């Protein structure tokens, strides 16, 4: 078995191997472009051994920012026929060919972390990035709120593609006109581990709707039947926004607007508490109906800065139900599917956000348990995309950038408890 240092070296090597010059692909083959939140994690990983490269990753991501402030979930810097749906399907015309939806905005939190590593090296670069981050957050606050919680307008925007959270809303969409298309993902990975055709048809239908609406947010607000308030998006933006305000303050900026957003989102996050299941849950913004899902997103409450422990009951129950934590969907639910992507598997990247939040909230024992469980999965199954919570086997794509990055930043625990690793 490899010892820690070998794993650290392998993690760094994965980041280097997935580097395409200025940006990092999530994994070769399956995901050959730049993905938004993957890239922010890549920057976090790079920041531990190559600060300059870390900043470049973020700068490349923001080179694709739209004029309205949106930062797309995929940037297609190069042509690659191995990925579907490509830029022609999305039909967007920003500075860089891209998708038309965004992804969870972890970037500001990671930028703050990276800047803290070395203020001097980061000074000029953060001054350039800061207004871009503000513009992106403003775009969320303008176009994505429902009762001050943050909505997703496509399952891919959530980053939790086929989570059961979206099932009811997706079922209301008649996708018969979507036509024929060739899925590339099930050529690269076992179809039993990927979203099903019913879901995929609706993903494509929603892209067609966006493209036919010219990706005009005002029009889509009226036309898009898929609008779901999501705990992950809400907690992540809430956290990122207070980190951005902290950066702004240090740079001598006026942060009144950002502080107002933080207050607003704190109220909105609380609106996602579903008393029927006693959990943070997602909610269809059109119908007001709950999804009824305890998911790994529900446990991001601490990361979002909420300081009550009302999710611990579920945490303790789930610890009894499966041996590896935290499954992406409640193992006691009949929609749990241990290998199917966001319907059951454990994602190290989500565990990292959850664990960091727990540490900050003083839940040291729980965070430590989660860290050890995650480290064991990686030590036995490698830097995979996700893992089976029932037997710990690795699944999905291999040599994943964000799994390698979070190994270095949190999972390996080489800096002890109490936060994220630092550049050394």
Binding site for ligand GLC (CB under 6 A): 26, 31, 35, 37-38, 159, 161
Under 8 Å between Cβ of 15 and 24: yes
Neighbours of 286 (CB within 10 A): 14
3 state DSSP class of 177: helix
Minimum gap (Å) between residue 31 Cβ and ligand GLC: 5
Q: Which is nearer to ligand GLC, 35 or 215 (CB)?
A: 35
User: What contacts 330, CB < 8 A, 6 or more positions away?
Assistant: 293, 294, 295, 314, 318, 336
> Can you read off the two tokens belonging to residue 167?
């099932």
Pairing of strands 145-146, 149-152: antiparallel
Beta strand 273-274 with 145-146 is unpaired
Q: Cα–Cα distance between 346 and 368 in angstroms, integer?
A: 16
Distance in Å, CB of 396 to ligand GLC, minimum: 9
Helix, strand, coil % over all residues of the chain, rounded to 5: 50, 10, 40
Of residues 31 and 324, the one with the C-beta less far from ligand GLC: 31
Give whichever of 37 and 383 is closer to ligand GLC, judged by the CB atom. Answer: 37
Which entry of 161, 165, 185, 243 is annotated as an active-site residue? 161
Q: Which CB atom, from 134 or from 189, has the smaller least distance to ligand GLC?
A: 189
Min separation Cβ 182 and ligand GLC, Å: 18
Q: Between 224 and 401, name the residue whose CB sits nearer to ligand GLC.
A: 401
DSSP label at residue 104: -
Specify the residue for token string 């949190």.
410
The residues pairing with 413 across neighbouring beta strands, listed in sequence order, are none
> 359 catalytic, yes or no?
no
Known active-site residue 161: yes
- Closest alpha carbon to 296 in 275, 322, 276: 322
Cβ 272 to ligand GLC, closest distance in Å?
20
Please give the structure tokens belonging to residue 214: 């010219």
Please, is 131 exposed, middle or buried when counting C-beta atoms within 10 Å of its C-beta (0-12, 13-18, 19+)? Answer: exposed
Catalytic residue among 165, 330, 385, 399: 385
Which of 255/297 has CB closer to ligand GLC? Answer: 297
Which helix (H) or strand (E) is 152 found in, with range? strand 149-152
Q: Least distance from C-beta 74 to ligand GLC, angstroms? A: 8
Q: Is 356 exposed, middle or buried (0-12, 13-18, 19+ CB in 10 A)?
A: buried
Provide the minimum distance between the beta carbon of 355 and ligand GLC in the complex, in angstroms, as a whole number. 18
Q: Which residues are catalytic?
A: 161, 385
């Amino acid at each position: 078995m490899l010892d820690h240092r070998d794993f650290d070296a392998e993690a760094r090597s994965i980041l280097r191997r997935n580097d395409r010059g200025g940006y990092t692909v999530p994994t070769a083959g399956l995901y050959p472009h730049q993905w938004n939140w993957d890239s922010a994690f890549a920057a976090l990983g790079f920041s531990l051994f190559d600060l300059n490269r870390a900043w470049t990753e973020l700068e490349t991501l923001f080179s694709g920012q739209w004029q309205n402030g949106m930062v797309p979930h995929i940037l297609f810097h190069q042509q690659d026929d191995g990925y579907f749906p490509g830029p022609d399907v999305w039909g967007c015309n920003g500075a860089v060919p891209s998708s038309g939806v965004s992804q969870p905005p972890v970037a500001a939190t990671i930028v703050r972390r990276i800047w803290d590593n070395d203020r001097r090296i980061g000074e000029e670069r953060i001054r350039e990035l800061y207004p871009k981050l503000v513009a992106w957050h403003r775009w969320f606050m303008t176009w994505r709120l429902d009762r001050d919680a943050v909505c997703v307008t496509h399952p891919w925007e959530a980053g939790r593609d086929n989570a059961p959270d979206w099932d009811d809303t997706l079922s209301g969409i008649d996708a018969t006109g979507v036509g024929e298309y060739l899925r590339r993902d099930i050529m690269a990975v076992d179809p039993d581990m990927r979203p099903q055709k019913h879901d995929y048809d609706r993903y494509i239908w929603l892209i067609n709707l966006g493209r036919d609406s010219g990706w005009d947010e005002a029009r889509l607000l009226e036309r898009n039947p898929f609008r779901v308030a999501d705990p992950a998006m809400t907690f992540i933006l809430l956290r990122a926004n207070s980190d951005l305000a902290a950066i702004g303050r240090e740079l001598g900026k006026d942060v009144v607007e950002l502080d107002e957003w933080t207050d607003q989102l704190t109220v909105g996050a609380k609106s996602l508490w579903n008393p029927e299941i006693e959990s943070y849950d997602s909610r269809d913004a059109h119908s007001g109906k709950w999804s009824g899902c305890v998911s790994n997103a529900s446990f991001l409450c601490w990361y979002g800065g909420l300081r009550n422990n009302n999710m611990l009951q579920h945490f303790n129950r789930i610890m009894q139900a499966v041996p590896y934590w935290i499954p992406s969907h409640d193992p006691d639910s009949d929609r749990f599917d241990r290998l199917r992507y966001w319907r059951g598997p454990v994602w190290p990247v989500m565990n990292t956000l959850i664990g960091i939040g727990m540490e900050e909230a003083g839940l040291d024992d729980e965070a430590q348990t989660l860290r050890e469980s995650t480290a064991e999965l990686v030590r036995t199954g490698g830097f995979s995309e996700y893992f089976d919570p029932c037997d710990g086997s690795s699944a999905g794509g291999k040599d994943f950038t964000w799994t390698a990055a979070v190994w270095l930043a949190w999972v390996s625990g080489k800096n002890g408890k109490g936060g994220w690793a630092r550049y050394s």
